[in-house]
Structures are given as structure tokens and as C-alpha cells.
Structure 1
Amino acid sequence: MVVSSCEVNMAEAHQAVAFQFTVTPDGIDLQLSHQALTEIYLSGVRSWKKRIIRLKNSVITGVYPASPSSWLFVVIAILATMYTRSDPSMGLIAKIQEHLPSVGGLHCQAVVSAVLFSTMLWLLLIFTMRLCLKQLLSYHRWMFEQHGKMSTTTKVWVALVRIFSGRKPLLYSYQGSLPNLPVPTVKDTVKRYLDSVRPLMDDTEYERMTKLAAEFESNLGNRLQWYLKLKALWAANYVSDWWEEYVYLRGRSPIMVNSNYYGMDFLYVTPTPIQAARAGNSIHAFFLYRRKLNREEIKPSRIPGIAIPLCAAQCERIFNTTRIPGEETDTVHHWQDSDYVAVYHRGRYFRLKVYQAGRLLSPREIEFQIQRILDDSSPPSKGEAKLGALTAGDRSYFSSGVNKRSLDCIERAAFFVTLDDDEQGMMGDDPASSLDHYAKSLLHGKCYDRWFDKSFSVVYYKNGKNGINAEHSWADAPVLAHLWEYTLATDSFQLGYNAEGHCKGDVDSSLPRPQKLNWEIPSEEQISQSLAVAQALADDVDFHVFSFRDFGKGKVKKCRVSPDAFVQMALQLAYYRERRTFCLTYEASMTRLFREGRTETVRSCTNESSAFVRALEGGEAADVCRRLFRAASEKHQQLYRMAMTGGGIDRHLFCLYVVSKYLGVESPFLKEVLSEPWRLSTSQTPVQQVELFDMVNHPEYISCGGGFGPVADDGYGVSYCILGDNMINFHISCKHSCPDTDAHKFGDQIRKALHDLIQLLGPNQKEPSKPEESRPEVKKDQ
């Protein structure tokens, strides 16, 4: 009788078991697997190396902007003063010496007390430098100055920031120096809110809302504000934890389409047509990025041109992270490490280890393993094929109904991989329509062939195209976009492929085969119910993706206009032309200038933008329309700057509403504000690492960006990516079930609006001399 140390129902089980023993009449015959023991040893070494690196980075980050070596410099400097008979401590060294035990003689006591004093002085200097840097980073007036006209105060500030910022920062070096998000006054927030809804209400509605706002401001508002100020003193960020919990994790509707978003591959280039090879290179690149992330070798994100650091807290949960469904609320689980990915192919789930004997597999070896999965003809277990639908339908707890060990394997994986049998991308006789299908495939697929709860899932198509689908609760789009840019660039420009399209390098054919996961699913009823809900949602999504190449930000900037403001005005014009009315418009902005900052809303529909649109549509003179456009653009930029610097409206009102619910009090004002639908939800997808791509010599190597589903049932979701000087990509979503929305018709309106605006503002038009509106074009979070 042979008894193994664990149950693994696969032919390759002996390679994963460290020992086995046989019971015989002569006793027990113990056999050790040296290969497995070596694997265990090397895995342990890798784990300890990572712990040591984390400890070292914690020390470096903890003393930043100083360095650990600066401690030795301070100690030597203080000890040197002892031999010059001077006392920089003003008697403190002697006081410390009096309390030391009399061991080793007076000279030894003096040296120890000097070292202790030096350490305290060093820590005090670090604390002072970090406090100074925190105060410096709280200065935001630079953002409101005209481009090219920096004040003397700001010039001095920039110099001081560079002095106190230290050298060679790690990814998390600035975290302790970032300021906390300020709490706006209730009066200011209410005033800005009323200003934002004025173009959306008639006089009667606006007067009613003004009365509700005044009553709230004078009574309940101040009471709720007191609790928020208390939280702001105690917590690193008074918004982020509630935002994650109540906007994302407590939602019970499907996260597929409603919350998750996607990113596309290169638009015009497919580096290799071989599915397994594309997976081999990019999976290897993902783990190279994770290695840099664990070692904090990724440079902190900064605002272009002025080098102000942004919060990196969201980076911690990129890998090894899963959203776990619960009865009332979900939770986000993050594990420190994972040496494998979970792979889905034709209804089966596999565990693919990417480390062997402590080393990361080469791209060619990962391709070899992926090909093994593609060639595997074993059928799925009962209920396995559509198991992923449980993550696509209404949120519900399901771990008790499936095999716990296999489920844990997926949840603890570094990320999720889908090997799709379809072909996607810009192809065929109708490339425009193929992009729409590509977007829908990445957003929801077949509703069961993605694991929507994973921090991100990568999809590899049969023709070599790929794409990414991301869960939203753990972080916002720019964090994942940074990873995606690195992966695309590393895949194509560093790793590359051989002449046949395969990954470069050799293969160790003795690698253990990927492990097929086994499932015991007693009932498929819950799976069928989730799939039905998800399929109905997916079928209702209307998508239109197009690349606008008639002009880009190069021509827009010649008109002395912010490209983002230009696009937002075009969206307002397009929406009005289609619906003959205005709507509450959401544009995502970031608050990562503050610790643990996430997003804020820019309400792009303003009095100024509506006045411009009405004037243009009413046939007003061109000079009048240009003047109104300038006013609208400047107002948009002002709102955007306010949102970035903590002066936004919506997160403050959201937190006041949460406090009111905790206190059990009702506010008619807050209830109405929080129930208003965002019929136009917009976001810009920026290119953050422009140095990785050569858009001049190789413009074909550009991503089409990404997109998301509509926020309102009767509205649009619009994501746009301003690429180089001559291209703007748009991703438009809405629902077929709404008779008033059509993604393709709205796309046509956007094209027309862009042309009409550039014709109105073209460089040939006479305009008063004026500097470009915006400070550095700061990119937004979704």
C-alpha cells in the first residue's frame, strides 16, 4: 500500500510530493524525492531573500529623505567633537552617560553616550526633514499659475522641494511625507454644488434645491462636518476607506460591466500570431514588474514637469489580490507572494507555476507550458466550464458550494489568465466593427471565461492579440495602466520573438506539467442563475471604439487650449446635439497628491460650458462663441485643479452622507444629491511612460487605451486616450435597452463636435495673445 503526503489527482503527482513511504512486512520503506526537497529548499531561499529585501527597503523608506549611511556620518561628526573638547550636545551627552551602567570604563561610557545622542539627533533631523517636506508638498498654488509664468514664491518652493526630496527614492519613499487630504468647509462645498447644478435645473427646481442646501448648511451640515474633521485627524485619508467599502465592496450588483474596466493591446501591431508565445513573453514581463515592485525599484510616479510625487499606496495590491464575495459585503484579500498563475482554457482551470528551483521561468519555458495547456484535451469536470459566472452575476457568497482547495488556488494566484479561442483586434473587412467586438470581449467575454474577482485577468486570443480586465475596488486605472504599459513595451522591445514567432531561449522539457484543478460542484443552480443575470447584462451593452486621426493635441495646443478641456467641451456639445439637453457629467480626476488619495469628480457641465454650447447652436457670431469657449475651458481647468488639490465636491458630500447614516439621521439635501444619475461618465486614459514608446518613429506601437461600461442605464460611458500629437482614441458604451442612447450615433456626434471646435478655434482665427491655459497636463484616474 502506497500512501502519499497529499492528495493530488494527476499523473505528475510524484514530482510535487517530497516523500512517499511503503508499508511492508519488513517495516516502512521511506523514499525521499531529492528533486522535491531541492525545490522546497530553493523556494525557502527565495522567500527569505524577499523578506530581507522588504526589511532593507523598510529601513531605507523609514529614514527617507535621509539615508542609513547618514547615521554613520552624524556619529563620526559627534565623536570628532569629543576630541576637540567641544560639546555640541550642550550637556546631553553627559546626562546620558550618568544613566549608563558603569561597564567598560569611562571612555567606553562616553563613546556609547555619544552614539546614543548622535542617533537621537539623526532621528530628529529625519523627522524635521520629513515635516518640512510634508509642509512643502501641501503647497498647491503652483497649479493655479499660468503656464510659463512661475512666481518667485513657486520658484523658491520648487528649489526647496528638490533639496528636501532626497536622492534615489524607492517606490514608497514619499508615503510618510505626503500631506493628508483636507476637509473642505461645508459652506464652500454647498456653494460649488449649487453652481454645478444650475445649468441642469429650471428656476423653480434651483430655488427648491437652494433652500434644501441652505437648511442643510445651517443645521445638520456642521454636526456631520465635526465627525469628518475628527476622522481626518485620525486617519491618513478621510475618504478612501469609505469609498472602497461603500462604493465598491458593499455593492450587490454585478461587477462585470458595472465596475470592472479593460485595457487593449497595440492597435495596429500584433508582435506574434502565436497565442502561447504571446502569453510566454507577457507573463514573464508581468513577473519582472512584480519583482521590481517587491524590491521597490519602480520610480515613484510624479507630476510631469514639476516632479511632485504621487501616492503609491495602490501599488501594493496589484498582484496576489482577489475580491472575495460575502453575504453583505465583499472583502479584498492580498497575499504576500504567489509563484503561479491560474489559467482558464476551454472550461478547465490550471495552476501554472512560473518559478522552478527558485528561478523565474524564461519566456520560452512559459510558452512551452502554455502550449501544454492548449494541447490538453481532457474534458472539464461537472459544473467547471461555467464556474466563472459566479464572479459575473449578482454578488453572493459561493465558496461553500465548490471545492475549497481549487478555489483557494485561483484566489491566491498572482493573476488570472484566459486562453481564448476567439480572434480579436482590428481585422477583417470591417475593422471598425471588429474593435467594438474586441472591447465587448475584454469587458465581459462569455461571462464565464474570466475571473472578474481577481485584481486583474489577462486574455490571450488565438491570433496573438491580448488584453486586460481589471477589478476596480483595490485601485484605479492609472495604477494598472502603468503595469500594462511596462508589459507591452517589455514584451515587444526587450524580450522579442524569433523569426518563427516563438519566444527566444531554450526549454527545459523536464518541467512538471501544469496542474489541472479538480472540482466537486454538487449543484449548478447557482452558476446558472449567475450566468443568466450576467448574460442579460452583457447582451445589453452597446460599444463603439474608434480612433480619431484627423488631428490631435498638437493642433489643439496651437489653439492655446488644454487638450482635455477641448475634448470635454466636445463631449458637452455632442451630448446636447443628440439629446437637446444637458446632463450631470462625471470626469475622473485624481487626489494622489495626498496620502492614500484615489479620485475626485470634476463636474464638466458648467454654466460656462452650457452658455457656449447654446451660443454655438444658436448661431451666435464666431468671436462670441470663441470668447464663451475660452471662459468654459478656463472654468473646466479651474474645477480640475480644485478637485486635484482637495477642493472637490462629491467626495466630501459622499462622506457627509456616510456619517449621516452612521448617526441615523436623514438629510433630504444629501439624499437628493447622492441619487442624481451621472448620464455622462468620462475618463482620460493617459500614457504615463512615454519613454517606453517611440511614437514618432514607431507610431504603430500604441495601445488603443481602455474603457468601461455605462454608469447610468440611460447614459454613456466615455473613455478617451490622447496619443501623441495626431490621435485621440474613444471608447463609448451605453445600453441597447435605452431607446435614447446609441454608442455609434454618439460617436458620430463626437467626431462632428471635434471638427466644429477646431474650425472655430483654428490657428487661422484671430485671437488675443494669451498663454496656454493649463499647468502641466496632469493625468486622471478612472
Structure 2
Amino acid sequence: MMINSGPWFDMYLSSRDSVVLNFNPFMCFNPDPKVEYNDQLTRATNMTVSAIRFLKTLRAGYLEPEVFHLNPDKSDTQTFKRLIRFVPSSLSWFGAYMVNAYPLDMSQYFRLFNSTRLPKLNRDELFTNEKAKHLLVLRNGNFYIFDVLDRDGNIVKPSEIQAHLKYILSDSSPAPAFPLAYLPSENRDIWALLRQKLLSNGNEEVLQKVDSAVFCLCLDDFPIKDLVHLSHNMLHGDGVNRWYDKSFNLILTKDGNAAIHFEHSWGDGVAVLRFQNEVFKDSTQNPAVTPQSQPAAVDSSSAVQKLNFKLNDALKAGIIKAKQNFDATMETLTLDVMQFKKGGKEFLKEKKVSPDAVAQLSFQMAFFRQYGQTVATYESCSTAAFKHGRTETIRPTSIYTKKCAEAFIRQPSKHSTEELQQMIAECSKYHGQLTKEAAMGQGFDRHLFSLRYLATSKGIPLPDLYQDQAYAQLNHNILSTSTLSSPAVNIGGFAPVVPDGFGVGYGVHDDWIGCIVSSYPARNVHEFIQCVHKSLEDIFHVLEGKHIDG
């Protein structure tokens, strides 16, 4: 089945809000298990080479939906793969379906590389130029480019990439007085007008280089203090050393902390996470350089080009204004991190409850404990089992979670431990059903979205349902949540989607549960995190068969 994703692209590209905080999320890599490989230069080189290897594999058509083939000649060929090869592609999905395997849609992947969101009045455009062979590197607000693919499309020698990055890291140029990188953080129409000014002021060639670059590598000149600092830096940074419109920014701090910050209109977490997993695996298992490697003896001063932008007074004024807006907005954002160390996926599976359902239940209970009510909650779910599938919404708030939250918080002494266990099991069972329905295209949010889109595009008056308070409330998602679990990812996060909301990025690991929560001044994120921790403690107590006190 194919999903028409056009209206979904429209929704993102027509929005005039800044992409920073409103749309772009981040996902942090785990450190390289070999400690000495976390040196900034070593890790930046290895990750860049692995990213280009991924690009080559993808473009050669060897990137299978589930297997990464850098060397397809030697790839393992299980019976299923041998069999499926002879089935016409129009029927091959059926063969996959018979064994309950759903090869995921990969139509988004080509936008990972050489792609940028271009600001245009009323509706932005996605731009891709697969012919470009250069990498864009940002350091201290300065822009550099050098080729990572040669004329024949082969990867430039890792020792040369290392030499060029070393050259950039040793450049003592000060940060520009008017950092251009603030502009993509602006309202999209304002940025579109400023971009037109940039073009007419003689910057067409340099902008073309920024837009067509394979991706953007950001080298930050400072180490990371703690997880909160890490999250702020990867989610938005200081506005000087990112290009927020690029399909993704690969960020490396002075101490080798790495993350991907990505623009959301072109694709979803599924494509980015796949890329991240492969880059982590390849850069840690097949590193291109070692901490002892010597950079190649090449003339980096001629290979690396520093981009210079011609700015007039109107553009300088635009940058100053963008910086003021950026700084003022970032001041309103609070982030906090929680790590629950008393157990995780293994314990929950042993108790036969869904780890994701338990995490979601803890958010429901936390909000209920803090504010005494239940609110609209959004959990994203990929629909990549369908052609061009994007996402569907899982609605974790249910009569089961409400009943459970009330029992745990208002009257725990009235219920036996067995009754509370039964309530958790009911929540888990229902959440599993919701998740399956969403993944298989049976959610209601995207259907309602499509019907509304059709009515508007055909000039039909909007049906009463869409004017109803309940519909408005349902779509004002106070708890916006998304989960990631992967051996490559440490934490991931995003900002709230409404001014009085929380943005909850979480992961249920084998023996711990973590979440990073964001809020604006209307909500108290520190208190919410304490309530989540307390909820998880209570749930785990009950699952262990212990009694809880109110």
C-alpha cells in the first residue's frame, strides 16, 4: 500500500515557524568503546569516512532494508534472500509478508545527503544535488569546504580527510562579527527575504556550496560538562556553529561527544537512526584512522576553501535581529535529564509487560501527580511498512492509564498489590494494541489530517468535527513523546510542541530507563522529572510484589 506523503511535506514546508526547537530534534551517539578513539580529530575523521561509505553503499543500491552491505560479493545469502531474488518485485512483498518481515520504505534516504531545506516565501523547498563531492565544515562560525569524493566518485583517502580536518581545527581565525548561521534559525519568511538579499549581494556561488554539500560537520571548541549541557548543545547550540537547514548536522565537541541534529521535513527518525547505527558500527569496528595515524602530507591550504560571504548593512541588521531572537528564545527553554537505575527492559519483559507501555504509563502518572489531570499525549510511530510511509500517532492516554494513575496516586492503600499489577497489565495490553494499529496504518490522527486536507483543498466547508473544542484539545499535545533504543544512541531529545507542553525523549535500556525532558516557563520540568522517577519506582515496586505507600 502506498501513502500519499505530499500533504505531510506541505505541513512541514508551509510552516513559517523557526525550524530550531519547533521541528529539529537531535540524537547523541554513545562514546566509542575504545576510549582513545574519542579524540575530536580521530572521531571526526572516522565518522566522516563511515558516513561517506554509507552514502556509497546507498547509491550503489546495496543498502538492503535490514542489512548493510559494504562488500556485497561476500555478503551472507540466507535461503530467504536467495528465494526472494527470483520473485518479481511486484510480488516480493508477499514473500516477505509470509515470513512476517516488512522491508521498510526507503524513499526518504536519498535526502540524507547533499540536501538542504531552502527558505521560500509561503512554502519552503527541498533541494538535493547528488553531483556535489564536498563536505561543509563549521568551526567557530567559519565555513569551510573540501572534497570527500574524488572525480570518479571514490572516497578521498582517510589520511587526507584527517589532514584537512586537522588544518581546520588549527585555524586561528576569529569567529565572524556577523555569523551567518543565525539566519536559518529565523522565521521562514524573514529568512527567505534575507536569503534573496544574500543572493542579490553576490553570494550565489557560496550558498550553492553550502546547500549542495554532502552534509554539515560541526566542530565545537569546548568539552561537555554534563548531560543537560550536552542536550542544549546538540538541540540548538549557540546559533553560530550549525546550519539548521541542512538535512543533518554531524556535531563533534572538543572531547569527542558526537550527535546528529536533523531537519525534519525531509524525513523521520527511522532513516536517520539507520544511518546513525551504521556510522556508529562502522566507525567503531572498522575505523579508517587510529589515534596514532599520521595525517597525509598534503597541502590542505589549497584543498580546503574557506567560504566568505559578502554582507551589506541590511544583511548585517538581519543577522543581529536573528541573534537577538535566537538568544531570547533559548533563554525560555529548560531541559532536564532523568536516569532510573533500578531496572529496565529485562525486568519488565520478565514480568510480561511492555517496556514502552510502562515508560508511557510513568509519564501519565507523573503528569497526574504534578497537575492532577490527564492531557493529550502524542507518541510517534513509524509507518515505514508502507510505501512513502511517514508517521502515525499512538495515543498513550487511555481509560486504563487514567484509572491506573488515579489508583496509584490518590488511593494506593485501597488496592491490593495484585489489583495494581492487574491495572499495569491492562495498560500494557492496550498500549500494545494501539502500537500495532498505528504501525499498520490503523491510527486515526493521519486519517483525520487527510480528510481535513482534502476538504480544504477542494473548497468544502470544514465539517463540524474540526471546529469542535475536543478536536482542538486532542491536537494540543501537552505531552509530546518519542522513544529511541539503539546500541549507537545515548540520548535524544526535542523541544515541546506547544508553549505549555513537555518534550519527552526517552529510552528503555536493558537495565535502566532514561529520559530527557524539555519545557518552556509554563511548566516545571524539574518537578516533572522527579514525578516520573517516583512513578517508575512505584510501578517497579508493585511488579516486584511489594506494597506502595501513597
Relative to the length of structure 2, the TM-score reads: 0.86
Quote the Cα distance in structure 1 between the aligned partners of 2:467 and 2:135: 44
* SS of equivalent residue, structure 1 residue 705: strand
* SS of equivalent residue, structure 1 residue 457: strand
The aligned residue for residue 482 of structure 2 is: 683
Quote the Cα distance in structure 2 between the aligned partners of 1:509 and 1:491: 23
The aligned residue for residue 249 of structure 1 is: 13
Gaps of 5+ in 1: 1-178, 181-236, 428-433, 688-692, 694-701, 766-782
Q: Please say if residues 378 and 481 of structure 2, whose CA atoms lie closer than 8 Å, have aligned partners that are also in contact.
A: yes
* SS of equivalent residue, structure 2 residue 500: coil
* SS of equivalent residue, structure 1 residue 666: coil
Cα deviation 1:699-725 (Å, max 9, x = unaligned):
xxx5313111111111111111223x2
The aligned residue for residue 223 of structure 2 is: 423
* SS of equivalent residue, structure 1 residue 272: helix
- Percent of aligned pairs sharing the same letter: 27
Cα deviation 1:524-567 (Å, max 9, x = unaligned):
11112222222222121111123332211100011111111111
Quote the Cα distance in structure 2 between the aligned partners of 1:478 and 1:537: 29
Cα deviation 1:649-682 (Å, max 9, x = unaligned):
1111111111222215133421342563100011
Q: Please say if residues 271 and 492 of structure 1, whose CA atoms lie closer than 8 Å, have aligned partners that are also in contact.
A: no
Counterpart of 1:361 (choices 146, 153, 156) is 156
Offset of residue 506 of structure 1: 5.7
Offset of residue 497 of structure 1: 5.1
Cα deviation 1:608-642 (Å, max 9, x = unaligned):
11011112222231222222222222221111111
Cα deviation 1:139-180 (Å, max 9, x = unaligned):
xxxxxxxxxxxxxxxxxxxxxxxxxxxxxxxxxxxxxxxx23
Task: Note if 1:264 corresponds to 2:50.
Answer: no
Q: Which amino acid aligns with 2:184?
A: T
Cα deviation 1:415-458 (Å, max 9, x = unaligned):
1111111211xx5xxxxxx1001100001101232100000001
Task: Note if 1:298 corresponds to 2:63.
Answer: yes
Cα deviation 1:217-253 (Å, max 9, x = unaligned):
xxxxxxxxxxxxxxxxxxxx23x2101212x111111
Using a 3 Å threshold, how does the CA distance of structure 1 residues 444 and 381 change in structure 2: closer, same or farther? closer
The aligned residue for residue 89 of structure 1 is: none
Relative to the length of structure 1, the TM-score reads: 0.61
> What are the within-5 Å matches in structure 2 for residues 219-238 of structure 1?
237-238=3-4
Q: Which amino acid aligns with 1:562?
A: S
The aligned residue for residue 129 of structure 1 is: none
Using a 3 Å threshold, how does the CA distance of structure 1 residues 671 and 334 change in structure 2: closer, same or farther? farther
Quote the Cα distance in structure 2 between the aligned partners of 1:709 and 1:638: 28
Using a 3 Å threshold, how does the CA distance of structure 1 residues 764 and 374 change in structure 2: closer, same or farther? same
Quote the Cα distance in structure 2 between the aligned partners of 1:491 and 1:546: 29
Q: Which amino acid aligns with 1:677?
A: H
Quote the Cα distance in structure 1 between the aligned partners of 2:186 and 2:151: 40
Offset of residue 327 of structure 1: 0.9
Quote the Cα distance in structure 1 between the aligned partners of 2:150 and 2:289: 22
Cα deviation 1:362-404 (Å, max 9, x = unaligned):
3322121011112223456663xx2111111211313222211
Q: Which amino acid aligns with 2:422?
A: R
The aligned residue for residue 509 of structure 1 is: 298
Counterpart of 1:470 (choices 256, 259, 262) is 262
Task: Note if 1:348 corresponds to 2:142.
Answer: yes
Quote the Cα distance in structure 2 between the aligned partners of 1:705 and 1:478: 15
Task: Note if 1:279 corresponds to 2:48.
Answer: no
Q: Please say if residues 337 and 414 of structure 1, whose CA atoms lie closer than 8 Å, have aligned partners that are also in contact.
A: no
* SS of equivalent residue, structure 2 residue 357: helix
The aligned residue for residue 75 of structure 2 is: none
The aligned residue for residue 126 of structure 2 is: 332
Offset of residue 474 of structure 1: 0.5
Using a 3 Å threshold, how does the CA distance of structure 1 residues 716 and 268 change in structure 2: closer, same or farther? farther
Using a 3 Å threshold, how does the CA distance of structure 1 residues 357 and 660 change in structure 2: closer, same or farther? closer
Quote the Cα distance in structure 2 between the aligned partners of 1:388 and 1:484: 24
Offset of residue 730 of structure 1: 1.1
Q: Which amino acid aligns with 2:350?
A: K
Task: Note if 1:583 corresponds to 2:382.
Answer: no
Q: Which amino acid aligns with 1:423?
A: P
Quote the Cα distance in structure 2 between the aligned partners of 1:715 and 1:471: 21
Task: Note if 1:727 corresponds to 2:491.
Answer: no
* SS of equivalent residue, structure 1 residue 352: strand
Q: Please say if residues 31 and 38 of structure 2, whose CA atoms lie closer than 8 Å, have aligned partners that are also in contact.
A: no
Task: Note if 1:751 corresponds to 2:533.
Answer: yes
Give the alignment's Cα RMSD to 1 decimal: 2.2
**Number of corresponding residues:** 499
The aligned residue for residue 54 of structure 2 is: 289
The aligned residue for residue 592 of structure 1 is: 384
Offset of residue 267 of structure 1: 5.3
Quote the Cα distance in structure 2 between the aligned partners of 1:743 and 1:567: 17
* SS of equivalent residue, structure 2 residue 365: helix
Quote the Cα distance in structure 2 between the aligned partners of 1:333 and 1:452: 14
Quote the Cα distance in structure 1 between the aligned partners of 2:423 and 2:39: 53
Task: Note if 1:409 corresponds to 2:209.
Answer: yes
The aligned residue for residue 395 of structure 1 is: 188
Offset of residue 313 of structure 1: 1.2
Q: Please say if residues 116 and 127 of structure 2, whose CA atoms lie closer than 8 Å, have aligned partners that are also in contact.
A: yes
